[in-house]
Structure 1
Amino acid sequence: MSMKKYLAATAFASALISVAHAQSSVTLYGVLDESLQYTNSEKSNGHAGSAWGLANGANSTTVWGISGNEDLGGGMHAIFKLESQFGISNGSNPFGSDLFGRQSWVGLADDHWGTVTFGKQYTPIVDYLCPLSAYCSFGGNMSAHVYDNDNVGGGYTVSNSVKYESPVIGGWHVGAMYGFSNEAGQFTSNSLLSVGAGYDNGPFHVAAAYMDATNPASGPNASGGAVGSNMAILPAANQRVLGAGASFDIGKGAVGLLYTHSTYLSLATGGSSFSDISGEDLRFDNYSVYGHYPLGGAFSLGAGYTLTNEHLSGSTAATLHNQQITIDADYHLSKRTTLYAEAAYQHVSGGNGLSLAYADIITAANASATSSQTEVSVGIRHSF
């Protein structure tokens, strides 16, 4: 082979490799969040008082993951995502031996027909309602609704699930998910159904979503079904969530409203801190409003308010009112690194000494010793 032919062949082979590489991609990504945190009141191991310490994920959950996309031609792509969660403070994995306990799915995406994925995934409740909440707008974990009772903050993902997301048509898009129990003879035990719909028109966004889980994280298939026993905060014989919200973009900022209704039928709390309400029915109505706006330069501010009415029925009937205010200030050192200061105040009225009557900001290590709790975190968030 002459040198000219060799160079031509080499150039052609290099071009083919470049095209193949351009059509496929694998990305390593992650978010690291660590802060110095002060909580004015906590109770733990028979002690009560204020607490100082390092806190992981006060604003953003600390995760790392791998995602991939292969162009199959004709507008079709093969896609996947593997995502793990861990704590920076001690390197621990909250899901134990489940390496990718946050997300692990594979599927096909078509530009004309939509996307179908299989595995462990977020529900349409998260996909459609979280973008309309303070959680996804600015506040992260510290702004989640009490106990993340509606799963808007993505408190758990769904295993053994099939999920469909439509393309956007005239501003509208819809999604649906079914999580299988994977239990012989127990098709509905620890299964989950969820649907959502959204509409976007310029700066205006609106969405609604629904979820119905049967025996999540409980029953004969507590760990092998749709929701693992290490995921649910309040296991019950049945959990339902219904919500709707809207947001409006103002320049680079946004304001939003969100309402969700969560129902837990026949709580299966066992020896947890909520054992005093085991077997009861519990309903949450969450009313939220937020605003987030960049002040120019590297600064941005956000504030949110949530009123949660908790209705406990059964032998122990009670109505509680939980109010929380969250304020956040960010200073962006770069596109990937941010310094933040975030504070939350929560107050509960009613409950007559029940476990629900103690304030419990979701990022606090423990519930308050009183009906009020204040938490302040100053930290750094880095994404890659």
Structure 2
Amino acid sequence: MKKNLAIAAVVAATFASASYAQSSVTLYGIVDTGFTYTTNVQGKANYAVTSGNVQASRWGLRGVEDLGGGLKTIFTLESGFNVANGQQNGGLFNRQSFVGLTQEQYGTLTLGRQFDSMMDYVVPMTAVGSWGGTYTAHMLDNDDLNGTFSLNNSIKYASPNLSGFKFGGMYAFSNQAGGFAMNRAYSAGMSYDYAGLRLGAAYTQINGVNANGSGSVQGSPLANTFGGTNDRQRNWGAGASYAYGPMIGGVVFTQSRLNDSFGNSVRFNNIEANLRYNLTPALGIGAMYTYTNANGGVINAGTNSNSAHWNQFGLQADYALSKRTDVYLEGVGVWGAGQNAAGITQVGYQGSDNFSGSKNQGIVTTGIRHRF
């Protein structure tokens, strides 16, 4: 009898251990902070300790449970924060909060607060999404390639890898009774990878981007700069990147357009080229250039005579102290010209509250980044 009980205990412990091994929860994050010098902040220089200079500081929980037959439950809860003052950026899980199912043959379906298809299929080919980070975002982050906002109430599908081809789409509900089409969003994209070549394209549309309530998104960099309360924002982009040995380069075109209920609009076109080269396994250098032009009517001003353009250059050196920790030195400059489009009287860097008093501005930042 005692022998049978011992065998049963061993079998039960084995099954419990196997069941536990099929589920996991991972704590992860990025802590990025440093010292930043900004020129021409309303005519003066600014010196500051800043957070998220290359990547937004964040922490999160990621989990998976194996349901059998290749089907798994997954979830992600992710929060951004400011290292310099310890404050949280918005709600508790302000970056992402979703749960869903994934299966290798059929893809992944998730529900919650998530990034759009531009982040999934276009951003990886840009400097802001690969090595350059926050300050290499396009003017005002008008196309949201720096992930300034996520989409609430969203259902998202991502296909499996089909011989290098991937596609996906999402729909974000307004959650408003009697306002189904107000403050909703939809997005779709695709990519193709072959050897070192990557191609990608995506589109996102948000209706009522500045609407109040519990809709898909409340505000965006473009809408916050110009918007009213019933704006429609459309972002789309396409690009390519190629990796060869220690070198990787990319070219991307994006357009963002904001329309209000009075028929006024503003349009930004962004053309970017970027290149990164690893001099050694630990030391990498990168360079980027973006040309941005904007035109359209001033919101609520009823004129279509305004246009402007900007040239943006960025350089970065990054040295890995370990697999998780690196130090960096980065400089980015923007030079504007022409009549200021759509009421823009300043240039400035997304992620920074330090806007220039003129059409020109430069930033030099150095810091340390740790991943866990």
TM-score (norm 1): 0.90
Q: Distance in 2 between matches of 1:197 and 1:244?
A: 10
Shift of 1:281: 1.2
1:46-57 aligned at under 5 Å gives the runs 48-57=43-52
Write the letter of the residue equivalent to 1:300. Answer: G
Aligned partner of 1:275 in structure 2 is none
Shift of 1:217: 2.6
Aligned partner of 2:86 in structure 1 is 91
Shift of 1:93: 1.7
1:164-175 aligned at under 5 Å gives the runs 164-175=157-168
1:363 equivalent among 345, 351, 354: 351
Shift of 1:91: 1.2
Aligned partner of 1:383 in structure 2 is 371
Q: Distance in 1 between matches of 2:150 and 2:15?
A: 39
Q: Distance in 2 between matches of 1:118 and 1:352?
A: 40
1:204 equivalent among 176, 197, 215: 197
Deviations 1:92-139 (A, max 9, x none): 1221xx211111101111111111100000001110000111112200
Q: Distance in 2 between matches of 1:267 and 1:350?
A: 27
Aligned partner of 1:249 in structure 2 is 243
Pair 1:65 & 2:64 matched: no
Runs of 4+ residues deviating >3 angstroms: 4-11, 229-236, 352-355
Q: Distance in 2 between matches of 1:230 and 1:347?
A: 23
Q: Distance in 2 between matches of 1:200 and 1:297?
A: 24
Asked if the contact 2:30–2:58 (Cα under 8 Å) also holds between the matched residues in 1, the reply is yes
Shift of 1:16: 1.8
Write the letter of the residue equivalent to 2:314. Answer: T
1:136 equivalent among 129, 148, 151: 129
RMSD between aligned residues: 1.9
2:99 equivalent among 85, 103, 106: 106
Asked if the contact 2:79–2:89 (Cα under 8 Å) also holds between the matched residues in 1, the reply is no
Deviations 1:14-62 (A, max 9, x none): 322321122111011110010100001112xxxx300001011111101
Aligned partner of 1:271 in structure 2 is none
Write the letter of the residue equivalent to 2:164. Answer: G
Shift of 1:355: 4.8
Asked if the contact 1:223–1:229 (Cα under 8 Å) also holds between the matched residues in 2, the reply is no
Aligned partner of 2:281 in structure 1 is 297
Shift of 1:12: 2.7
Pair 1:228 & 2:222 matched: no
1:300-311 aligned at under 5 Å gives the runs 300-311=284-295
Q: Distance in 2 between matches of 1:6 and 1:332?
A: 55
Aligned partner of 1:122 in structure 2 is 115
2:185 equivalent among 178, 182, 192: 192
Cα distance 1:40–1:267, how it changes in 2: closer, same or farther (>3 A)?
farther
Deviations 1:298-320 (A, max 9, x none): 11111111001111224252111
Shift of 1:202: 1.1
Shift of 1:230: 7.8
Shift of 1:329: 0.7
Q: Distance in 2 between matches of 1:142 and 1:159?
A: 26
Pair 1:80 & 2:75 matched: yes
Q: Distance in 2 between matches of 1:264 and 1:119?
A: 25
Write the letter of the residue equivalent to 1:338. Answer: D
Q: Distance in 2 between matches of 1:351 and 1:214?
A: 29
Aligned partner of 1:283 in structure 2 is 267
Q: Distance in 1 between matches of 2:261 and 2:152?
A: 21
Q: How many residues align?
A: 364
Write the letter of the residue equivalent to 1:85. Answer: G
Q: Which consecutive unaligned segments of at least 5 residues does structure 1 have?
A: 269-278
Shift of 1:153: 1.6
Q: Distance in 2 between matches of 1:57 and 1:25?
A: 28
1:172-187 aligned at under 5 Å gives the runs 172-187=165-180
Pair 1:374 & 2:362 matched: yes
Q: Distance in 2 between matches of 1:374 and 1:112?
A: 48
Q: Which consecutive unaligned segments of at least 5 residues does structure 2 have?
A: none
Q: How many percent of aligned residue pairs carry the same amino acid?
A: 37
Asked if the contact 1:145–1:286 (Cα under 8 Å) also holds between the matched residues in 2, the reply is yes
Asked if the contact 1:267–1:282 (Cα under 8 Å) also holds between the matched residues in 2, the reply is no
Cα distance 1:292–1:118, how it changes in 2: closer, same or farther (>3 A)?
same
Aligned partner of 1:160 in structure 2 is 153
Cα distance 1:253–1:7, how it changes in 2: closer, same or farther (>3 A)?
farther
Shift of 1:13: 3.1
Aligned partner of 1:15 in structure 2 is 14
Cα distance 1:135–1:37, how it changes in 2: closer, same or farther (>3 A)?
same
Write the letter of the residue equivalent to 1:343. Answer: G
TM-score (norm 2): 0.93
Q: Distance in 2 between matches of 1:55 and 1:172?
A: 39
Q: Distance in 1 between matches of 2:140 and 2:314?
A: 15
Q: Distance in 1 between matches of 2:353 and 2:232?
A: 27
Q: Distance in 2 between matches of 1:351 and 1:267?
A: 24
